[in-house]
Amino acid sequence: MEGITNLLNKSKTGMAEHVARLERDLATIRTGRASAGLLENIRVDYYGTPTPIKQMAVINVLDAKTLEVQPWDMSSLNDIDKALQKADLGASPVNDGKVIRITLPSMTEDRRKQLAKNISKMSEDFKVAVRNERRDVLEKLKKAQKAAEITEDDLKRYEADVQKATDAHIAQIEQVIKNKEAEIMKI
Protein backbone atom coordinates (compact mmCIF):
# COMPACT_ATOMS: atom_id res chain seq x y z
CA MET A 1 0.00 0.00 0.00
CA GLU A 2 2.88 2.36 0.81
CA GLY A 3 4.31 1.74 -2.66
CA ILE A 4 0.99 2.77 -4.21
CA THR A 5 0.94 5.99 -2.19
CA ASN A 6 4.47 6.78 -3.39
CA LEU A 7 3.41 6.00 -6.96
CA LEU A 8 0.44 8.37 -6.72
CA ASN A 9 2.53 11.12 -5.12
CA LYS A 10 5.23 10.72 -7.77
CA SER A 11 2.60 11.01 -10.49
CA LYS A 12 1.13 14.20 -8.98
CA THR A 13 4.61 15.65 -8.59
CA GLY A 14 5.35 14.86 -12.25
CA MET A 15 2.14 16.61 -13.32
CA ALA A 16 3.02 19.66 -11.22
CA GLU A 17 6.50 19.74 -12.78
CA HIS A 18 4.95 19.92 -16.26
CA VAL A 19 2.86 22.92 -15.18
CA ALA A 20 5.94 24.61 -13.66
CA ARG A 21 7.96 23.96 -16.84
CA LEU A 22 5.18 25.51 -18.94
CA GLU A 23 5.26 28.62 -16.73
CA ARG A 24 9.05 28.85 -17.13
CA ASP A 25 8.79 28.42 -20.91
CA LEU A 26 6.07 31.06 -21.16
CA ALA A 27 8.17 33.56 -19.19
CA THR A 28 10.66 33.61 -22.07
CA ILE A 29 7.99 34.52 -24.64
CA ARG A 30 7.82 38.20 -25.37
CA THR A 31 4.61 40.02 -24.57
CA GLY A 32 3.96 43.71 -25.06
CA ARG A 33 6.09 44.47 -21.99
CA ALA A 34 9.79 44.10 -21.27
CA SER A 35 10.62 41.27 -18.87
CA ALA A 36 13.88 39.87 -17.54
CA GLY A 37 12.54 36.43 -18.46
CA LEU A 38 13.03 37.27 -22.14
CA LEU A 39 16.78 36.94 -21.69
CA GLU A 40 16.76 34.00 -19.28
CA ASN A 41 17.53 31.26 -21.82
CA ILE A 42 20.22 33.20 -23.67
CA ARG A 43 23.65 31.63 -23.28
CA VAL A 44 26.89 33.56 -23.60
CA ASP A 45 30.11 31.95 -24.79
CA TYR A 46 32.23 32.84 -21.75
CA TYR A 47 35.78 31.48 -21.87
CA GLY A 48 34.56 28.68 -24.13
CA THR A 49 31.66 27.68 -21.88
CA PRO A 50 28.01 28.46 -22.71
CA THR A 51 26.87 30.36 -19.60
CA PRO A 52 23.33 31.65 -18.89
CA ILE A 53 23.26 35.43 -19.13
CA LYS A 54 21.53 35.70 -15.76
CA GLN A 55 24.65 34.21 -14.13
CA MET A 56 26.86 36.87 -15.68
CA ALA A 57 24.88 40.08 -15.33
CA VAL A 58 22.08 41.94 -13.62
CA ILE A 59 19.06 42.29 -15.88
CA ASN A 60 16.95 45.36 -15.07
CA VAL A 61 13.60 46.37 -16.52
CA LEU A 62 13.86 50.14 -17.00
CA ASP A 63 10.38 50.66 -18.41
CA ALA A 64 7.70 48.79 -20.35
CA LYS A 65 9.90 48.51 -23.44
CA THR A 66 13.50 48.72 -22.20
CA LEU A 67 15.82 46.17 -20.60
CA GLU A 68 19.27 46.91 -19.24
CA VAL A 69 21.99 44.28 -18.91
CA GLN A 70 24.81 45.19 -16.54
CA PRO A 71 27.61 42.59 -16.43
CA TRP A 72 29.43 41.84 -13.20
CA ASP A 73 32.66 41.35 -15.15
CA MET A 74 33.17 44.21 -17.61
CA SER A 75 35.46 42.03 -19.75
CA SER A 76 32.39 39.94 -20.65
CA LEU A 77 30.42 42.92 -22.00
CA ASN A 78 31.28 42.24 -25.67
CA ASP A 79 30.56 38.50 -25.30
CA ILE A 80 27.14 39.31 -23.83
CA ASP A 81 26.53 41.82 -26.62
CA LYS A 82 27.33 39.17 -29.27
CA ALA A 83 24.99 36.66 -27.62
CA LEU A 84 22.18 39.23 -27.51
CA GLN A 85 22.75 40.08 -31.19
CA LYS A 86 22.46 36.37 -32.10
CA ALA A 87 19.38 35.82 -29.92
CA ASP A 88 16.99 37.35 -32.47
CA LEU A 89 14.96 39.32 -29.93
CA GLY A 90 13.48 41.55 -32.60
CA ALA A 91 15.44 44.48 -31.13
CA SER A 92 18.96 45.82 -31.44
CA PRO A 93 21.05 45.84 -28.26
CA VAL A 94 22.97 49.09 -27.71
CA ASN A 95 26.32 48.73 -25.94
CA ASP A 96 27.51 51.97 -24.29
CA GLY A 97 30.68 50.44 -22.84
CA LYS A 98 29.22 49.89 -19.35
CA VAL A 99 25.75 48.44 -19.89
CA ILE A 100 23.71 47.07 -22.78
CA ARG A 101 20.25 48.51 -23.35
CA ILE A 102 17.63 46.69 -25.37
CA THR A 103 14.59 48.67 -26.51
CA LEU A 104 11.83 46.35 -27.65
CA PRO A 105 9.60 47.54 -30.49
CA SER A 106 5.82 47.40 -30.17
CA MET A 107 4.33 44.15 -31.41
CA THR A 108 1.99 44.18 -34.37
CA GLU A 109 -1.50 42.70 -34.13
CA ASP A 110 -0.48 39.87 -36.48
CA ARG A 111 2.54 39.05 -34.31
CA ARG A 112 0.33 38.98 -31.20
CA LYS A 113 -2.11 36.60 -32.88
CA GLN A 114 0.72 34.35 -34.07
CA LEU A 115 2.19 34.19 -30.55
CA ALA A 116 -1.23 33.36 -29.09
CA LYS A 117 -1.56 30.54 -31.63
CA ASN A 118 1.93 29.21 -30.77
CA ILE A 119 1.10 29.29 -27.07
CA SER A 120 -2.06 27.26 -27.70
CA LYS A 121 0.02 24.62 -29.50
CA MET A 122 2.52 24.65 -26.64
CA SER A 123 -0.27 24.09 -24.12
CA GLU A 124 -1.39 20.98 -25.99
CA ASP A 125 2.09 19.47 -25.63
CA PHE A 126 2.00 20.03 -21.88
CA LYS A 127 -1.52 18.62 -21.59
CA VAL A 128 -0.33 15.50 -23.41
CA ALA A 129 2.59 15.22 -20.97
CA VAL A 130 0.17 15.37 -18.02
CA ARG A 131 -2.05 12.74 -19.65
CA ASN A 132 1.00 10.53 -20.22
CA GLU A 133 1.74 10.75 -16.48
CA ARG A 134 -1.83 9.60 -15.87
CA ARG A 135 -1.53 6.75 -18.37
CA ASP A 136 1.72 5.52 -16.82
CA VAL A 137 0.37 5.47 -13.27
CA LEU A 138 -2.88 3.80 -14.35
CA GLU A 139 -0.93 1.03 -16.09
CA LYS A 140 1.09 0.44 -12.92
CA LEU A 141 -2.09 0.41 -10.81
CA LYS A 142 -3.70 -2.17 -13.11
CA LYS A 143 -0.59 -4.36 -12.87
CA ALA A 144 -0.74 -4.09 -9.08
CA GLN A 145 -4.40 -5.12 -9.14
CA LYS A 146 -3.64 -8.11 -11.38
CA ALA A 147 -0.84 -9.11 -9.02
CA ALA A 148 -3.40 -8.96 -6.18
CA GLU A 149 -1.51 -6.14 -4.44
CA ILE A 150 -4.67 -4.00 -4.41
CA THR A 151 -8.36 -4.80 -4.67
CA GLU A 152 -10.63 -3.77 -7.52
CA ASP A 153 -12.30 -1.24 -5.21
CA ASP A 154 -8.90 0.25 -4.38
CA LEU A 155 -8.08 0.39 -8.09
CA LYS A 156 -11.27 2.34 -8.83
CA ARG A 157 -10.59 4.73 -5.94
CA TYR A 158 -6.98 5.30 -7.08
CA GLU A 159 -8.09 5.76 -10.69
CA ALA A 160 -10.56 8.43 -9.57
CA ASP A 161 -7.83 10.12 -7.51
CA VAL A 162 -5.45 10.15 -10.49
CA GLN A 163 -8.17 11.48 -12.80
CA LYS A 164 -8.97 14.24 -10.31
CA ALA A 165 -5.28 15.24 -10.19
CA THR A 166 -5.07 15.13 -13.99
CA ASP A 167 -8.14 17.34 -14.37
CA ALA A 168 -6.76 19.82 -11.82
CA HIS A 169 -3.39 20.08 -13.56
CA ILE A 170 -4.95 20.44 -17.02
CA ALA A 171 -7.20 23.19 -15.64
CA GLN A 172 -4.08 24.86 -14.24
CA ILE A 173 -2.41 24.68 -17.66
CA GLU A 174 -5.48 26.20 -19.30
CA GLN A 175 -5.50 29.05 -16.76
CA VAL A 176 -1.79 29.77 -17.26
CA ILE A 177 -2.31 29.83 -21.05
CA LYS A 178 -5.39 32.03 -20.76
CA ASN A 179 -3.45 34.53 -18.61
CA LYS A 180 -0.49 34.57 -21.02
CA GLU A 181 -2.74 35.03 -24.06
CA ALA A 182 -4.47 37.95 -22.32
CA GLU A 183 -1.05 39.45 -21.52
CA ILE A 184 0.02 39.11 -25.16
CA MET A 185 -3.15 40.58 -26.62
CA LYS A 186 -3.11 43.53 -24.19
CA ILE A 187 -1.77 46.63 -25.91
Report pLDDT digits (tens) over 69-109: 999 988 888 899 888 888 877 778 889 989 999 888 777 88
Candidate ranges 33-37, 82-86, 103-107, 163-167; pick with highest mean pLDDT: 163-167
The fold adopted by the segment(s) 36-103 is Gyrase A; domain 2 (3.30.1360)
pLDDT tens for 46-69 read: 888 888 988 889 989 888 788 899
CATH of 2-28+108-185, one of 1.10.3720.10, 3.40.50.12140, 3.40.50.720, 1.10.132.20: 1.10.132.20
CA angle 10, 16, 18 (to 5 degrees): 105
pLDDT given for residue 128 in this prediction: 95
170 pLDDT higher than 90? yes
29 pLDDT higher than 90? no
| CB hemisphere CA count around 140 (13 angstroms) | 17
Threshold 0.85, pTM exceeds: no
Give me the residue spans of the domains in the chain: 2-28+108-185, 36-103
At residue 173 the predicted structure's pLDDT band, cuts being 50, 70 and 90, is very high
